[in-house]
Structure 1
Amino acid sequence: MNTIGTAFRLTLFGTSHGPCIGCVVDGCPPGLNIDEEMIQKELDLRKPDVEVGTARMEDDRVQILSGVINGITTGAPITLTLINKDVDSSKYEIFRRIPRPGHADYPALMKYGKFHDLRGGGQFSGRMTAAIVAAGAIAKELLRQIEVRIAAYTQSIGKVSDNDEHSFDDILNERLRNSVKAANSGLANLMKKEILNAKEDGDSIGGIVKCVVVGLPVGVGEPFFDTLEGELAKMIFAIPAVKGIEFGAGFRAATMRGSEHNDPYVIEKGRISTLSNNAGGVLGGLSIGMPLVFRVAFKPTASIRKEQRSINIERLEPATLKIEGRHDPCIVPRAVVVVEAATAIVLADLCMRGGFID
């Protein structure tokens, strides 16, 4: 389905090469200050860098069609649209016969048959994340009412990894100073070089986005099937190219003892805190008042210029494929703001369900 959320609900519509993409945000309370420029600032963070991104350049000027009057939400569903202008569908028809390795072409053709829209990846395209970012801007504004803030950055590209800890404000400031959205300016050029080397080879490369949320009250989330981690994971995996997510110590926890992994409680400045944050701010599916910390793994972009093996599904025989067109050699820098938006949408929903937001 194309809808997620309970109290704060998001529905996506459109396709990569259709007339437009967009979303409907339902459940946003009335009286919230929202304007197109505020949403536009978030969308601009998703735009590709000339050197390390795709050559497809969309204006991504958001239009608010309903739910907002004079910059204030009315309580009605909010409809946002983004027109697709820079579209070239000429190179996609071959994928009906020869599906692209790493793409959704084959399973989508089996599911939808001849009716599937292959152009630009259709509804499976990373293009759809622009609508997620637009909706996320509204969710972020809602979360500001209870002083919840979100910051993500590129932690690694290929083999170049930033293992340092960064303050929340440093993340927000440093990532704007380089094209890869890194929090470590010293590593930004090395990450950029990883991308450019892959691009020069006609290849692509993946990486990791780290996300930090501060100000989240204790008790956000529900037990068992609507846990904070579970709801976030469901939304994060809706982002194309995501292959994994881990919270706090994550998979390292499997190598630790309980005495190492447990986060001791302490009193700091009159409030309950923990000495470490191996739990990533979550226990029992509920927030504990510490920063929510998680990492998201992105696979290399599936569209590459190198010749690849595939099959001709009409003749059921081997085939080769060399993909042309405009594609990102690495989507990680652009995914940073998408991860933030997806996180905001989930947290807004859970906070409303839990009574933290009226």
Structure 2
Amino acid sequence: MRPLWNQLLQLPKVVLHDHLDGAMRVETLIELAARTGHHLPSTDPAELTAWFVQAASSGSLELYMKPYVHTLAVMQTRQALIRAAEEYALDLAAENVVYAETRYAPELHTRLGLSLADVIAAVQEGLAAGSAKAAGAGSPIQVKTLLCGMRDGIHSREIAELAVRFRDSGVVGFDIAGPENGYPPSDHLRAFEHAHRHGLPVTIHAGEAFGLPSIQQAVHACRAQRIGHGTRIIDDIKGADLGDPTRTELGPLASWIRENRIPLELCPTSNLQTGAAASIAEHPITALLDLGFRVTLNTDSRLIAGTSMTREMSLLVDEAGWTLDRLRMVTINAIESAFVSDDERNLILNEMIIPGYAKAEQQ
């Protein structure tokens, strides 16, 4: 295992779906909780990490989100947000993530008086500091931001406006997050229309806890350029479990997603925890990739899911038979789906990803 892990650790990586408030260092969480008086299930790092994984492995999205109460409790001040964001960038760079888009909902960080703009500015400051330190240590990384409105909230239009306002400061897109069932993306059309009107890219959580209708609304009614998770698109594909692309039949929505190259931000470990998939071996990511969908590999919430990009790769190699070619494919898919300019995308692809995989092939 160790030689494989070390090889995978060195591979260049791209992550498009990772929640900032689900990716704190456990030691930082314990320290900040002690300062603020917030009670945690444990103050032992190993025990608390295990608690998060167990609590998240609930079989439903709604229960999966409950552990966020602890990270959100301590991410309510400017300094806490700066620190969490700085450490976030450093932790990703340490496993050779060369490009990342982190997402969070600013409205969840205003309990102690920060304005929505204050929250965004603090996160951007922290990400910039972490990225600069990583580059200085020889591990360059770009970290961009996606701002989320909450499906069950009332601030989505305001968040979309702020995403446009901060687009020159590292914000590259807009999303909605939170419970899917009962909160369709079409409830937030005004927010999406504002983003589209200003040329701001959109990704939408869909097809995880709720089925095909949420994906259909996301891409047709709300014009999402990417889908967060989207595992349930497999429900529109007959014969996908046979392992033979020639024996599959795509339904109209699946055909549209594939033909229009809509990226799917799949998160295997998280999808197992929420009940969206039964096992890594049976996860739709392999079938969808082999069928020609634009699949990307992601972590979702690294602390709460107990994972990392290296671990996600390792699981797919060990349990789903993935090869270096498949890992390269999802990495290239991810950078080609990033919400950045073609110049930035091509620079990362040609100077970091392609050479990194070529080096791995020679080892």
| TM-score where L is the length of structure 2 | 0.24
| Structure having the higher Rg | 1
> Using CA pairs below 8 Å that are at least 6 residues apart, which structure has the higher relative contact order?
1
